């Protein structure tokens, strides 16, 4: 009789509520799955679009680099011709670093010509010069220099190197040999490359008349004021035509050289609206087979540089 007092359909009504709740849960789960699927598809489409955009940008960059390479070749030839004209009556000025500027559309090309005597001959590298480059050029902290001094103090001998390291050569023959020095990372090596040249012969030390700014900073032990003063004096000597460039009194005399060279490093750079490129040539002042009064020994690929 107690069950007769219970409202009709109460059990079925309770079951209906439970079933409706279950159906709502299933609908919510399906909605979540659909949302996840849409999100995954959106991410996939975004990835495809991103890759496509990167491909387009890379193709544009490659095309710009090809155009820049052709432009750099022309700028190098024009500058070398002008360099020959400018130095025809003054042999001394052939050993002074010089710059030329050429207009291209709304941009300006910069051509820097450095006699190799203003760089460090890799085969004549001294421990003193390498330590100076590491400290003032690469930025090795003074506290870390002690290990380098001990390591290469014996003229690059392997006496101070643990057995786990390769022996250092008594004479470096390729720039990559610098990576044999423990502590020279790839990043440091990339910085070191701008200070050296490879040749059959060369004198130890740096000729400041021919040196780029980064080498002058080494000679001045990082004092940029001294570098600025010397650059002004060098420019005056170049304009005067006498070619007599006296090293700054505060340059480290143990790293100086008065040697000259018939090999030149030529750097051509262009800063456009969207891109900045640079290319490096190594030129010998020997007549080429085509009759041009210089010969391109090698040229590095065009590279993109930071703006």
pLDDT at 46: 82
Residue 9 lies in a domain: yes
Q: In this structure, what are the phi and psi dihedrals at residue 120, rounded to the nearest 5 degrees? A: -95, 120
pLDDT surpassing 60 at residue 11: no
Q: Which domain holds residue 31?
A: 3-37
Residue 16 lies in a domain: yes
Residue 31 lies in a domain: yes
Angstrom CA distances, 202 to 62, 67, 181, 212, stand at 37, 35, 22, 17
Q: What is the number of alpha carbons within 13 Å of residue 268 lying toward its C-beta? A: 26
Residue 233 lies in a domain: no
Max mean pLDDT range (86-90, 140-144, 198-202, 279-283): 279-283
pLDDT surpassing 60 at residue 280: yes
pLDDT surpassing 80 at residue 9: no
Q: In this structure, what are the phi and psi dihedrals at residue 197, rounded to the nearest 5 degrees? A: -140, 160
Lowest mean pLDDT among 82-91, 216-225, 226-235: 82-91
Residue 32 lies in a domain: yes
Per residue in 29-79, pLDDT tens?
Answer: 777 788 888 888 888 888 888 788 777 777 887 888 899 999 999 999 999
Percent of the chain beyond pLDDT 90?
A: 33
DSSP string, 227-281: HHHHHHHHHHHHHHT----PPPTTS-GGGB-----SEEEEEEEEE-SS-EEEEEE
pLDDT at 1: 47
> At a CB cut-off of 8 Å and minimum separation 6, what does 176 contact?
189
Residue 95 lies in a domain: no
More confident residue, 278 or 107: 278
Max mean pLDDT range (8-12, 219-223, 254-258, 289-293): 219-223
Per residue in 136-187, pLDDT tens?
Answer: 988 888 777 776 766 665 445 433 334 444 455 555 677 887 887 777 888 8
pLDDT surpassing 60 at residue 13: no
Residue 7 lies in a domain: yes
Per residue in 196-208, pLDDT tens?
Answer: 988 777 778 899 9
Tally of structural domains, the chain: 1
The pLDDT mean for the chain works out to 81
């Amino acid at each position: 009789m107690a069950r007769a007092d219970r409202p009709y359909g109460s059990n079925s009504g309770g079951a209906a509520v439970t079933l409706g709740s279950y159906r709502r849960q299933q609908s919510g789960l399906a909605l979540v799955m659909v949302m996840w699927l849409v999100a995954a598809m959106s991410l996939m489409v975004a990835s495809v679009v991103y890759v496509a955009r990167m491909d387009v940008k890379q193709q544009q960059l490659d095309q710009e680099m090809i155009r820049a390479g052709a432009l750099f070749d022309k700028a190098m030839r024009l500058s070398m011709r002008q360099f020959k004209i400018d130095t025809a009556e003054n042999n001394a000025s052939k050993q002074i670093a010089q710059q030329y500027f050429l207009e291209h559309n709304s941009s300006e090309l910069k051509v820097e010509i450095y006699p190799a005597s203003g760089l460090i001959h890799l085969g004549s590298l001294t421990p003193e010069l390498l330590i100076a480059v590491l400290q003032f050029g690469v930025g090795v902290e003074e506290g870390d220099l002690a290990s380098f001094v001990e390591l290469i103090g014996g003229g690059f001998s392997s006496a101070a190197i643990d057995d786990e390291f390769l022996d250092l050569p008594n004479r470096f023959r390729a720039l990559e040999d610098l990576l044999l020095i423990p502590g020279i990372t790839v990043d440091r090596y990339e910085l070191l490359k701008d200070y050296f040249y490879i040749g059959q012969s060369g004198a130890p030390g740096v000729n400041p008349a021919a040196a780029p700014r980064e080498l002058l900073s080494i000679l001045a032990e990082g004092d940029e004021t001294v570098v600025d003063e010397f650059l002004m004096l060098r420019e005056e000597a170049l304009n005067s035509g006498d070619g007599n460039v006296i090293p700054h009194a505060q340059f480290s005399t143990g790293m100086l050289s008065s040697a000259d060279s018939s090999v030149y490093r030529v750097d051509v750079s262009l800063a456009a609206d969207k891109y900045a490129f640079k290319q490096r040539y190594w030129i010998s002042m020997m007549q080429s087979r085509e009759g041009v009064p210089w010969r391109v020994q090698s040229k590095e690929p065009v590279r993109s540089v930071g703006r």
